[in-house]
Structure 1
């Protein structure tokens, strides 16, 4: 039986790990970087070819970062072990980009809030509404998804938005939702929901600081627009 082709089967000058150590990580291509992580190819494909194909069939690096475990397992030559490695890479990348490392995260501007949720929400295929809960110093104490699907005032009930905020003694909240089209321009319904939740927050003693519309790498702050 033919043995699995590993990085060590390649000429030394073509081995990604050796190239990284000799020339620096910046010298490696995306496929070579992925090869360093995955380490070995399949019985029919060496690691560099496999890594290149994984990137191509997932639509590039951005596609990889939005893939699921099932997406990876469905790829020829990628079993459960490599799929798990890829999912770990995806999650680490998201945590780096959203600062979810266990440290306190203080929100001082709409951009801070957008940075917290952008990588998670920018490529979602459906609309999601997320609530960011803050203490009196504007430090994030909890985040929660409260609805999935097209947002309208009949679906987004204030009870769902403010329930956990009250239980966790939040001083204020920021709501965020994505537009799957990638265009963060607010709709009339977005504005109506915001005004309704702002008034409810005043009654409950939990201030609505902002409503962010998340697009593909860009956002709109209704606070900056003067709506909140």
Structure 2
């Protein structure tokens, strides 16, 4: 059943419009995006199925596309709608980072990195390049694969930092396993990058590891 088939004032879309987005549940919000259900089930039923399968709204939005397509009632159109919602959220947070001091708002930085890296199926090494007021100049994914299996070259990070005239960087990568604790390889590459960029008078402000619903900050743990 499609949301358009609900009676006036009965469906989640009407509830959202009449009472505001904060008045509807996660399942109802998700149903508005999905619009239709499958085989006699409503969009709300499908939304509840997805939330249960992926462990909540964060899991749904971060789920790989193929896993979504394997769910009954989920086609390419619905998957694209959810991916678009996730990307809009990421870009909204990124715009905010470009306007302010990243080190003055670490929660916002972590939120952005969670959106940016949380749903990746393989490890991605990202750099946030900042100006001398710690405003975001550029976010760039530089290396892919595990830090042991895919080399992270300090020279490449330095070249990008000089290209963007960055005064500081925040390093970040994800752990697809979901565990945010740093490995020995994570610690080694952080030290190498800190030493290499320090020669250019470019500060490494933090290295953030994104796990499943959690993150780890080298700066907060006193490792920088």
For the aligned pair, the TM-score class normalised by the smaller chain equals 0.7 to 0.9
Deviation larger for 187-196 or 165-174? 187-196
Unaligned runs of 5+ in 2: none
CA distance in 1, matches of 2:189, 2:210: 16
Say if 2:180 and 2:214, in contact at 8 Å, map to a contact too.
Answer: yes
Q: Which residue of 2 aligns with 1:144?
A: 140
SS in 1 for 2:86: helix
Are residue 107 (structure 1) and residue 102 (structure 2) matched? yes
Q: Give the 5 Å matches for 1:133-172.
A: 133-152=129-148, 155-172=151-168
Q: Which residue of 1 aligns with 2:128?
A: 132
Cα deviation, residue 63, structure 1: 2.0
What is the TM-score normalised by the length of structure 2?
0.80
Q: Which residue of 2 aligns with 1:223?
A: 219
Say if 1:152 and 1:193, in contact at 8 Å, map to a contact too.
Answer: no
> CA 1:22–1:174 in 2, change beyond 3 Å: closer, same or farther?
closer
Q: Which residue of 1 aligns with 2:84?
A: 88
After superposition, the CA RMSD in angstroms is 3.0
Q: Pick one of 2, 9, 21 that aligns with 1:6.
A: 2
CA distance in 2, matches of 1:188, 1:64: 31
Deviation larger for 165-174 or 84-93? 84-93
Q: Which residue of 2 aligns with 1:66?
A: 62
Say if 2:144 and 2:150, in contact at 8 Å, map to a contact too.
Answer: no
Deviation larger for 208-217 or 125-134? 208-217
Deviation larger for 157-166 or 212-221? 212-221
> CA 1:16–1:214 in 2, change beyond 3 Å: closer, same or farther?
closer
SS in 2 for 1:205: coil
Say if 2:61 and 2:82, in contact at 8 Å, map to a contact too.
Answer: no
Say if 1:166 and 1:206, in contact at 8 Å, map to a contact too.
Answer: no
Are residue 78 (structure 1) and residue 74 (structure 2) matched? yes
What is the TM-score normalised by the length of structure 1?
0.78
> CA 1:20–1:173 in 2, change beyond 3 Å: closer, same or farther?
closer
Q: Name which one, 1 or 2, has greater alpha-carbon Rg.
A: 1
Unaligned runs of 5+ in 1: none
Give the paired residue count. Answer: 223
